[in-house]
Structure 1
Amino acid sequence: MRFDEVVLAIMKAVDGQRTVSSPYHLIKGKKSGQTIQDIGYFGLHPYFAVLPKLDKQDYLASIGRLEAQGLLLPDEHAIRLGRAASGLDIPPTPLNGWKYRGNESRFFARLSLVLQTMSNFMQDHKRFDPVVTDETVQAWTKAYLNRIDFRSAAIQGALKSQIETSLALAKISENHKDILVKRLSGFGVGGLTWDQLAMEHSVMPIDVKIAAVETLHAWLDVLEGMEYPLLSGMLEGIIQQSALTESAKRTRNLSERGFSLGQIAGLRQLKTSTIEDHFVEMAMNDPAFSAAPFMDRQLIESIHQTSEELKSMRLRDIKERLPEASYFQIRLALAMKGAGK
């Protein structure tokens, strides 16, 4: 999947209902209430936080290309797709941004430093410039290496075998795997830059970045489901154990203890609107969530029906039809609708 296809996939889901900047915030992983609720409303889980360091100019360049191809119509207020976009198929992708939330880069940083260290020590070269400068990753890697006795030839061979075997099972093209592997460094060998990889594969640098993330997500899916002890050890803190953000989990814990929305806002010293965002997030992701404290089932069904009649999930449109419903109630009901409740 190329970067323009990622942008277009998001735009096709929200056509006419969000501004042109909304995919940018989603791809970067902005944890605003609007972005998080859009994930549930429009089923955009794959694309969340897939490029946390996305440069705005790269995004605007993509917008320009989509407009030049007639796939996107210029509009300051909302995404408007061209006629050509409706019949354009978006290729399938292993992206699972909501699950990994940018943590795949931390896994790859650990792996890169582990392999670089092993490679250099195998050549009795104990002084080298680490390919990863993040001190947190360096400290984690040092502890991991000592834990596995990385100087052992048996351990080195086992890690190589586990990498080859598990990566071969990842459901992604060989070109994708090639991009990821060539980012790795070892003794006397430096990983290729994004520009070098883009030139080698005749694509743009932003496309090889997306390809690397796709490969990591496909690979992590293999590692999570099978037993590769040396690689599994690198997954610590990488895979989200809860679909909720940390802040929403704290709000849920207080709610389960019987505190009201207003009380939670006071206890946490947060705006009421922020706590409302957390309840919307719970409605999207928590199978046990109940909206009973906030509205009855009849109002929920009325909101769902109105949304379907209008073919819109825009809050203002629904509010005009159902003035008795608050914006929070509408957001909550739509979140439940997106979750199939």
Structure 2
Amino acid sequence: MNLSLLLLAIIQKLDGERTIYAGLHLLRGKRSGQTLQDVEYYNLKTFFGILPKLTVEDYDEAAKLLSDAGLIETRADSSVILTESGRLAAKTLPVYQFNGWDYRGRETIFFARLSLAIQTVSNVKAGESSFMPIQKDYDIQLFVKKLLHKQPISDPTYASYIAGELSLCMERSGMDDQQKIIFTHRLSGFGLTGWTWDQLADHLKLKPFVIQLLFIESLHRLLVVIERSPDMPFLTTIAENIKVKTYLTDSSSKTKQLFDRGMSIEEIAAMRQLKVSTIEDHFVELSINDPQFPLTQFVAEETVQEVVAKVNDMASRRLRLLKAEFETLSYFQLRLILGARTGEGN
């Protein structure tokens, strides 16, 4: 697993519809209207926000590797497509088990809670009640303190119970041997400090960046298992509120509240002191995420069906092409139709 291969998978799904930097915005989890639309239109929820600190330099290097290998090429309109070699290479890619859309970086909170809980139980089991906590964040410390307050952490069998639950979860998750090594070696316990990325990279003979990707995927694998497993009460509590409850941005949620009160786009923009185009972005986000979005308040159902048919006929969701076919529709109306009727769940 490496960044170039992730990018190859993303470009394969975008299929010549976007420029090279659409992948950068996706991996960083950019909350712009365009990126949020791409997530839905092209079934890219897997990769959303899994690398929030990804630098342009690292991304450019990954793209250059693909280009130099003859796997991608840039067209005259700046869109990027796979070459024939690229399509063949894409067929060999693994099925990535990231779940960026649901966790959005919160998997790190899950691991922080888990690592501190395990460190605490390990030290208490060894008779050491005073130790330097591996996690400094106050909210993490408070969460673990409340979690363990009424638990028999001084009972040696409690530590064994946690170990058993975690071992079962790892097995069910389908983590490979490398991921198991990375995950377990990142944990701390009595007299043991979790390994750094560089230590793991040296041990496994992999680049630190690859180690981090494998680690993120392993956490996502675990969280999916925990969500489906009623027989893991300890881990279920650790994973509490890690999965996002609403896919709307806070700003879009506020816009929805005003719209539900009967306000128009212009009135909402005026009240919130935002540009009309920003409010329109919120509505597009609503059209993607709200199955009950009242699309026909903005465009006739007959026209919606015509646009959807044209999208299927052209096998493209490019706004410029659709606008040429439906000149009387605004870009905003087209975006709403794409969001409400042509995404992954439609």
TM-score (norm 2): 0.90
Partner of 1:311: 315
* AA of the residue aligned to 1:306: K
Q: 1:191 aligns with which of 189, 194, 197?
A: 194
Structure 2 vs 1, CA of residues 55 and 123 (structure 1 numbering), >3 Å: closer, same or farther?
Answer: farther
**Paired letter, 2:88:** G
Deviation (angstroms), 1:147: 4.4
Counterpart CA distance in 2 for 1:72 and 1:196 is 34
1:80 match: secondary structure: strand
Aligned partners of 1:49 and 1:207: how far apart in 2? 16
Q: Give the letter aligned to residue 4 of structure 2.
A: D
Change (3 A) 1:73 1:129: farther
2:171 matched residue in structure 1: 168
Shift of 1:247: 3.0
Alpha-carbon distance, 1:297 to partner: 1.2
Using the TM superposition, name which of 214-223 and 268-277 deviates more.
268-277
CA distance in 2, matches of 1:144, 1:10: 39
Q: Is the 1:58–1:206 contact (alpha carbons within 8 Å) kept by the matching residues of 2?
A: no
Q: What are the superposed Cα offsets for residues 167-219 of structure 1, whole Å, 9 maximum, x if unpaired?
A: 21113323222221111111222222222223333332222211111111111
The 5 A counterparts of 1:1-341 are: 1-73=1-73, 77-88=78-89, 89=91, 90-227=93-230, 228-335=232-339, 336-341=341-346
8 Å Cα contact 2:125/2:153 also seen in 1: no
Q: Quick one: which amino acid aligns to residue 207 of structure 1? A: V
**How far did residue 108 of structure 1 move?**
0.6
Equivalent-residue separation in structure 2 for 1:321 and 1:168 (angstroms): 52
Question: 3-state SS of the aligned residue for 2:297?
Answer: coil
Q: Is the 8 A contact 1:251 1:264 kept in 2?
A: yes
Instruction: Describe the superposition over 1:259-287 as per-residue Cα deviations: whole angstroms up to 9, x where unpaired.
Output: 32223333333322222222222222222
Residue segments in structure 1 that go unaligned for 5+ positions in a row: none
Secondary structure of 1:70's aligned partner: coil
Q: 1:136 to 1:54 in 2, by over 3 A?
A: farther
Q: Indicate the SS of the match to 1:87.
A: helix
- C-alpha distance after superposition, 1:83-132 (max 9, x if no partner): 21112212112211111111111101111111122222323334433322
Partners in 1 of 2:119 and 2:210 — Cα distance?
A: 26
What is the Cα deviation at residue 339 of structure 1? 4.2
* CA-CA distance at 1:45 after TM superposition: 0.7
| CA shift for structure 1 position 291 | 0.2
Q: Calculate the aligned-residue CA RMSD, in Å.
A: 2.2
What is the rounded CA distance, in whole Å, between the counterparts of 1:200 and 1:165 in structure 2? 25
Taking a change above 3 Å as real, the CA distance of residues 169 and 323 of structure 1, as seen in their structure-2 partners, is same
The residue type equivalent to 2:44 in the other structure is: L
- Structure 2 spans left out of the alignment, 5+ residues: none
Separation (CA, whole Å) in 2 of partners of 1:324 and 1:96: 39
Q: Distance in 2 between the 1:74 and 1:125 partners?
A: 60
- State the TM-score, normalized to the length of structure 1: 0.92
For 1:79 and 1:136, locate their aligned partners in 2 and report how far apart those are by CA, in whole Å. Answer: 43
